[in-house]
Copies of this chain bind each other. A is one copy, B any other.
């Protein structure tokens, strides 16, 4: 019950192993008669070459590692799907590493990926920000990146220069805000995320900028901070609804938060979009699964993943590639918003 090797094939075909290898890889001309004889034997034994041996020799595995914080967060399967589509065309396969937000596991995975000689690493930052990760891990990431092509997707590691592909979140915030203003809303609240995270900060700034450009004030209490979760959206919305004067529209830092806000509104018997409009961010599947369907800023998550792979691929091929790639967002209008005009 031993494994069939290229030698066994060779012996039975009365040729050398080299020849078998050559028909396997089409790497040199071989006489038609011997080729077909070999092929036949290969079929007979259902022979498949051992990729480990090949990789050991060629120093490439056709494998890339994908590290992400939580596959259960609907954001990531979407990104992964984009990665998969792009990369399977190029013949790569993945190690999927889910860190569950645990830094220790992150470093373990990094180790493992290096041992397994992956051709490249894709690091999904996503909603959890790398910027405040502990310096030791950061060091490790940089170290690894210096040996193995690495790209950061939607993350950042300040003070280092790693290849990145990110979303233009500021632009997305602008689109959403301007859309609401154009629809006649004057009083708009923003349920944001963690105040210290760059992506949130960017969005807040963009939000304020657009408001001002349209001659509108942004009251202090109209920017609420949270933690990107549904629960945070729910409680923020409750606070908003408790006010004497409610805003007519609420813009949320991501869809999960928006769904939480929506839930709070429904619970309180406040109609969406009749009494309050809600806009989300990301366009996760959930956004169109609920009623009313969420107006949201599409992050083009699959594109994000696909682009990440392309960048990585070029790096593996040692082609020149830009350090920073930016994906532009798009506004998707559905039924959670209405025009006041």
Residues of A within 8 A of B (CB): 3, 46, 48-53, 55-56, 59, 61, 63, 71-72, 74, 76-78, 80-81, 84-85, 88, 93-98, 100, 105, 111-112, 114-117, 143, 230, 256, 259, 262-263, 266-267, 285-286, 289-291
Beyond contacts A52-B52, A63-B95: 19 other A-B pairs, Cβ-Cβ < 8 A, are: A50-B117, A51-B115, A51-B116, A52-B56, A63-B116, A71-B77, A71-B81, A72-B285, A74-B74, A74-B77, A74-B285, A88-B105, A93-B116, A95-B95, A230-B289, A259-B289, A259-B290, A262-B291, A286-B286
Contacts of A262 in B (CB 8 A): 291
CB contact under 8 A between A51 and B117, given known A81-B72, A95-B93, A95-B95: yes
With A74-B285, A94-B95, A290-B259 as contacts: A52 and B84 at CB distance below 8 Å: no
Number of copies: 2
B48→A111 contact, CB < 8 A: yes
Q: Which residue of B lies closest to A115 (CB)?
A: B51
Is there an interface contact between A50 and B56, defined as CB atoms closer than 8 Å?
Answer: yes
Of B78, B81, B112, B286, which is within 8 A of A289 by CB? B286
Residues in chain B near residue A291, CB distance under 8 A: 262-263, 266-267
**Taking A51-B117, A286-B289 as contacts, is the C-beta distance between A84 and B56 under 8 angstroms?**
no
Which 8 pairs show the lowest CB-CB distances between chains A and B? A96-B96, A51-B115, A263-B291, A266-B291, A52-B56, A71-B77, A51-B116, A84-B98
Report B-chain residues with C-beta under 8 Å of the C-beta of A59: 3
CA distance A96 to B286 in the complex (A): 23
B residues near A3, Cβ cutoff 8 Å: 59
Most buried by B among A3, A52, A61, A230: A52
CB of A228 to closest CB in B, whole Å:
14
Q: How far is the CA of A111 from the CA of B100 in the complex (A)?
A: 30
Residues of B within 8 A of A93 (CB): 95, 97, 112, 116
**CA of A334 to CA of B210, assembled, Å:** 41
Closest chain-B Cβ to A225's Cβ sits at a distance in Å of: 21
A248 → chain B closest CB, angstroms? 21
